[in-house]
Each structure stands twice: as C-alpha cells, then as structure tokens.
Structure 1
Amino acid sequence: MNKTFKIYAVIFIIVMVILALLEVNKKETTDWRKNFDINGKSPFGLFVFNNEAKDLFKNNLKKIDQAPYEYYSQHKKGNHNILVIEKEIDGESWKKIMDQVSNGSDAMLIISRIPRNISDSIGFYASDISFEEENVLKFTDKKYQNDFIKLDKFPSGRGFSFIKPGTEILGKTVEKKNTDQANFIKIKFGKGTIYAHSEPLFLTNYYLLKPGNVKYTQDVFSYLQDRETLWFIENKSNTSSFFMRFILGNPALKYAWWLFLGGLVLFIFFNAKRKQRIVPVIEPLRNTSLDFVKSIGNLYLQEGDFHDMMAKKAQYFLNKVRIDLLIDTQNLDEEFAKKLQLKTGKTMETINEAISLIKKAQDPYASVMKEDLGRINKLLDEILK
C-alpha cells in the first residue's frame, strides 16, 4: 500500500465520519417556500389539492401540461372553464385565454401577481394591501358568510384596487386594523366571465389540511359552471433540470453528490503536483520516395541524355492512353490522332504536334534537344488533363 493511497483512505474515512455525524444531528427543517408544486408535499405545495381536485370538479377536470398558446393553437374547444393557479403565462397565451373567454368560456385566475398589462386590459389592478401576519378571507355573499379561512402563515397581502365599474366583488380580506380589501372579483368579458383571486395560499397543503378550510375552497370553485375545466399546469420558465432537482431533493443523493464533488476536488489537488514524464519527440518518417525521384532526376540532368528522358515520357504517355482512354497505340497514324482528339477534346494541331514529338522520341537516331524535351512534356501533360 503506497503513501498516496493511505492519504486518500484517511481523507475518505474522515469525510464519511463527518457526514454521518451531520446526518445524525440534523434537525428536520420545514420548507416554507411558496412553490405551488402540484406534487409538492411541503406546506405551500399543491399535493392535497391535486389529489382532491378530481372529486372537487366532479371528474370534469383536465390537466394541461402545455402553454395555453400552444394548446389552443392545436385544439378547438367549445365553451369550458379555464383554471390558472400561480403560474407565469406569456402574453400570447393570455390573448388565447381572453379569446376563449370572449367566446363564452369562463376563466378563474388564482394568482397573487397578475401582470399589469393583463390586469389593465381586464379592468383592475393587483397591489399590496396589507403587511399583517394574519389575514381572514371571507365572501361577500351572505349564503357563504360562515365559510371563511384564516391565513396565519405568510399571507401575500395582495388585493385588487382601481376596479372598474360593473366588477362584482365576491370576496374580501378582513383585518382588525385595516379596512376590508377585495381579493376575489368577477368580471364580465365578452360572452364569458373572468374570476380573479389574489391569494392562492388557500389551496396549499398547509391550509387545506386544517379542519373547516376545505369548505372555503369548495365555495370559490362553485362559481364556475358545471362543465369541463382545463387546468394549465405547464410552466417551462421556472422548471429546473429534472436530474439535479431529483438529486438535490433527496437527502441521501444530495450527500452522495457533494461527496463526489469533494472527492473530485481532492483528486485534482493531490494529482496537480505529479511530475509528468517527458514525452519524447518522435520525428515523422521521411518520404524516401520523393528523395529517390529527385536523385534520379538530377542524374538525368547531369548526364544530359534528353533523348532517353523524352523516350520514357512518350512511353509513359502511350501506356496511359491504352489503359485510361482504351486507344490502340500500335500505329500512330491519322486514325489514332482522331480517336485521341475525340477522347481528350484537344485541338488537332496539339494532337499532331504531340504525335510528331513522340515519333521523334522513338527514333533512336533522331537528334533531341533540351527544348524538345520541355515541349513534349508540356504537350503530353496538357492532353492528359
């Protein structure tokens, strides 16, 4: 067992002991964030409402995991109910919802902060009305006067002001030190109706599990007609990565994740000082074929045997003609010239000049000059292009 391995083993044992002590002494903490997650079991999640909604809406509730704009662009619906609970919805989706309401559908918006441009177009303004630690939500209708809910944990203190004439106030926030403020309103919009509630906390696990509070929730939704209700739960802008959300939401996986990151940092730290063996420089293999060709070329130039070089060039050219162009080179006559001209597309002047030089190269008694070698080399290369 080498020294480095021992160091890693000791550090690993120390980290595991520390994590075990933290786990044993850890106190359960309550997550009071207002997440409004339909699967969240924290106090301000919607797990209870999500499970009871089916019975609450008499099996007429349908959850939509698409944005309203996307859904209504793909589906044509008759008159129905629309439910939105504390979700940020883009402007185009709001337009689609307003179009549906204008044609006879009803929309219930249970949102603490409705965008200003949306609320202005409808005819009200949502604002902070209270900073009290306790609020009581009541109805204005006398038949519901005994049904109320007391918010004793982090009420939003939101309500409606600047309400246009003709808007019906269905519910109010009641406090001891302040005047009553509207928190639940009804607005006629085209052929349909918009219901807006500014305090979605009454739908959360913490309040629904308290005795007597379910009645208030039932009364709120009793204003909707008994027909199909679409509950839009899609919200891509606030959805985190499923992988990290699952790991960090599970205590055991969370500790394993941090242990992995810690081990990775330690590994990098201890290996940063390791000396790397010098990598030898390997010279690439030389192209000896090119050297050989250069040597042969220099030899011919030194000897000055232009006739032999010209003959070899002619021999190479005729071999290429036989193999590539499939022309018989036995007789370098007029028929050969025509075939070569048709296959290569060169002029007859060029072809005839090349044939003349080839014949000169094949004649062992012909007198060949350096200029002849250069000319035949140029002509034959041009023909074979």
Structure 2
Amino acid sequence: MSKQVKFYIALTALAIFGIVLLEYSKPKQINWFASYVKHHKIPFGTYVFHEQLERLFSESKITHLENPPYQNLSQSDSINGTYVFINDYVQFGDTELEKLLDWTSKGNTLFIASEDFDEQLLDTLQLDTDVLSIFEVESDHFKFQLSNTTLDTTTVAFDKSNYASFFNTIDTLNTSVLSTIKEIKVDEDTQDSIQVKTPINAIKQPFGNGTIVLSTFPQAFTNYFILNTPNQNYTAGLMSYLSDSKPLYIDHHYKSGKAYYTSPMYILLNTKALKWAYYIMLIGVVVYIIFEGKRKQRAIPIVKPLKNQTLDFTRTIANMYYEKEKHYEIAQHKIQHFLEYIRTHLHLSTTTINDEFIKNLAARSNNSIEDTKSLFETIEYFSQNTQLDNIQLERLNTLIETFKSNNSWKKKT
C-alpha cells in the first residue's frame, strides 16, 4: 500500500471521527410536530395527559378505541359514557356525525377538542368559529382562563402558536361558557375594529338527554402545556366536566401522528447508537468503493470482431459458376436480383411485364422508355435461351448496372 493511499485512509478516518464527535455532542432537535398520540413524549404528544387520566379515573373505566367511531358505535350497544376526541382537526363524515349525535342524545357525553369543527356540527348547535391572531392580544402569547369560579381560574399561557380559534357565535340560551381567551386588544377609537368581547374557546351544551363539550384549544392536553405550571389545573378544570362515574372512551383514530411506526428505519434512526452504526456502515461502504473498488486486473485486450465473409463467399460461388461455364444459371440469378431491386427500391410489382409496366419503370428509374424496353427484351431472350456465352452474360450485366446507375443519379440529385 502506497504512502498516498495510507494518507487518504487516515484523513478519512479522522473526518469520520470528527463528524461523529460533533453529532454526538450536538443537542437533539425538538420535534414540534402536533401528533396528539398517546405514547408520544414530544411536546405536542399526549403522553402526560393519558398518564394523569389513568391516575384520576379508574383504569377499568378507560377504553382506548383505535377504530373509527361509526364502526365502534355500530358494532356494540354497550358503549355508554363519554367519548373523547383530541386532535388539531377532527373531521367526521355526515353519517358518522349523525351516529355520534344520536348516541349523545341518549344520555352520553361527547367531548371534542379541536381547532376547527364540522360545519354540520356547528350548524346543529347554532355555533360559529373564527380565528384570533397573535397581533390581537396584548402580549406575545395567548392566555386562557376557566370561567367557573369554583375551579382554579388562574390565567394560563401558551406561547407556541400564532393564532387561536374561538366561538364568535353561540346559542346563549343553551350554551355554558367554560373558558375564554384573555387580554384582547381594543381599538380605543372605533371600539370594534378588533374583538371587544372576550373570545370563548370552550363551551358546554345539552343535546337531547346528553351533553356536548367543545374546546378550540386542543393544545391544552399536550405534554408541553401540562408540564408548565400551573397549566395542569386548567386542563384538569376542563376534564372536570366529564363524569368520573361513567366509562371513558378515548379516540385514537383521528390523530395527526402515527400511533405505530411500521418502518424498521424509524426504529433504526430514532435510536442514537443504531443510527450512528448505520451511518458509519454507509461511510465504510463509500470508503471501500473509493479505495478497493478500483480495477486491479490487467486491461482486457480488444478482440476484433469476426470479419463478415458473406461478400467473399458470394464472390467465390460466382467464380465457381463462371469457371464451370454455367452462364445461364448466373444470368437467371442476375435477373432475379434485378427484379427484386425493382420491387424493393422502385416499388413496382414485377408479376406482369407489359407496356404499362415499362412506362412506369422508365419514369421512376430516370431511364428512357426505349432503353427500358430494350433491357426487358434482352432479359426475355436470356430467360428463354439456355445456351449463353460469357460475352452475352457480360452484356446483360452491363445493361442492368447502367439501368441502376441512372436511378442512383436521380436519387442523389
């Protein structure tokens, strides 16, 4: 191994070591994806919420449902209690929503925390939603407060969003306000250019014999929000509207994140040790290709392809016929090749040789009618006369080649 190769190998190894050291010491980036999945410990997962839920409610009363609600409610009549949906956006189909509302009207509770809702649901409850910008609040983050004075009404903050949804229209006769957004800017001149009323972000409304609870702030149930004191009291206050004496059904179908990762690459790249083992393997393959992938054998000699002997073979056969004075056979071969030439290059049928054929052939081949007619008279003579000498054979060949050369000139011009 030469000194230059050793130098490159050492330089590559040093570079790999430096990259590994930098990546190992670099802090892991925070994943801010809003997944709302039970087992996710990322900021917008709901691991802490479900952990506290199992502490506050009896574990036997909590059921986690993976299938769509329509399927769950259709297959079992024993589902009675509270159905909880938490995601950044929950979109039911019309049939599924009707099934849920019918189930709720029978004395059950429907709890939905979502930034937006189905139009059909809002119309049914006589509600309407709107969006509040971060520029419409006094501080650089949103603040929320529970409305029920029997609960902890401490104002809580959320600083990871530039907008917040709220209910701008409610049915005041049937709707109870559970939570509001605080510290809204007011234009002192117009008093109406920006929302003057305190925006409502959580409500409760009776529906048949049941209850519907809606919140436009699903982030209240995420790890990031709950772990910031005293935010957990706000989340607990919203959950206090759910009866702890009834079964609790938690939806895991309408989630932005994946509940399970089926790709083995996720496990490989999500574990630091396995990830770097994978990267080092790839780097090793690249190094091998660079230094060991070079061709080491002798250059393969160029083998010339076999020469096409068809023309030589044809010439040999022709000489053999000529030396044995088989002039008639040679003449017949020559005539047949000529007729094939007419069919292939001049696109004329040679089945019938008549005056019309002579006229068309002369026009297409740039030959005169007289020369063309003379050629075919000679061909007719050679076809009938079996006793030919070499002079007659050479005359036939000359006539045919002259005829073809005139056609070749026409093509060039």
TM-score by length of 1: 0.61
Output the CA distance in 1 between the equivalents of 2:286 and 2:124.
Answer: 55
Q: Matches of 1:112 and 1:30 in 2, distance apart? A: 23
Deviation at 1:206, TM superposition (A): 2.4
C-alpha distance in 1 between matches for 2:300 and 2:67? 57
**CA 1:145–1:177: 2 relative to 1, 3 Å:** farther
CA distance in 1, matches of 2:289, 2:67: 44
Offset of 1:241 from its aligned partner?
A: 3.8
Partner in structure 2 of residue 377 of structure 1:
none
Partners of 1:99 and 1:215 in 2: CA distance: 32
Aligned to 1:354: none
Q: What SS does the corresponding residue of 1:223 show, helix, strand or coil?
A: coil
User: Would you say the 8 A contact 2:91–2:117 is kept in 1?
Assistant: no
Further displaced range: 226-235 or 113-122 = 113-122
For 1:159, the equivalent position in structure 2 comes to 166
Gaps in structure 2 of 5+ consecutive residues: 187-195, 302-413
Answer yes or no: is 1:113 the counterpart of 2:116.
Answer: yes
**SS in structure 1 of the partner of residue 133 of structure 2:** coil
Residue 43 of structure 1: SS of its match in structure 2?
A: coil
2:247 aligned with 1:209: no
Alpha-carbon offset, residue 197 of structure 1:
0.6
**C-alpha separation in 2, matches of 1:39 and 1:6:** 49
Structure 2 letter corresponding to 1:149: V
Q: Secondary structure at the match of 2:246?
A: coil
Choose which of 276, 285, 296 in structure 2 pairs with 1:255: 276
Shift of 1:194: 0.9
1:100–1:9 Cα change, 3 Å = farther
- Aligned-residue Cα RMSD (Å) equals 3.6
SS of aligned partner of 1:202 = helix
Q: Secondary structure at the match of 1:142?
A: coil
1:129 paired with 2:148, answer no
- Give yes or no for contact 2:106–2:208 (8 Å, CA) kept in 1: yes
2: CA distance, partners of 1:106 / 1:14: 63
Is the Cα contact below 8 Å between 1:67 and 1:89 reproduced in 2?
A: no
* Structure 1 gap ranges (5+): 279-385
Amino acid at match of 2:156: I
Aligned: 1:220 with 2:255: no
Distance apart, 1:110 and its partner CA: 1.1
Taking CA–CA contacts closer than 8 Å with sequence separation of 6 or more, which of the two structures ends up with the larger relative contact order?
2
* Amino acid paired to 2:212: I
Partner of 2:185: 177
The farther-off stretch of 62-71 and 251-260 is: 251-260
For the structure 1 residues 47 and 156, does the alpha-carbon distance in structure 2 shift closer, same or farther, using more than 3 Å as the test? farther
Retained in 2: the 8 A contact 1:68–1:94? no
Alpha-carbon distance change, 273 to 120 in structure 1, aligned in 2, over 3 angstroms: farther
1:74 counterpart letter in structure 2: Q
| 1:188 aligned residue | 206
Q: What is the deviation of 1:136? A: 1.9
Q: Match of 1:325?
A: none
SS in 1 for 2:143: strand
Match of 1:305 in 2: none
Distance between the aligned counterparts of 1:117 and 1:257, measured in 2? 50
Q: What percent identity do the matched residue pairs reach?
A: 26
How far, CA to CA, are the matches of 2:210 and 2:290 in structure 1? 66
Give the CA deviation at 1:123: 2.9
Distance 1:272 1:73 in 2: 63
Cα separation, 1, equivalents of 2:203 and 2:164: 16
- CA distance in 2 between counterparts of 1:277 and 1:89 reads 67
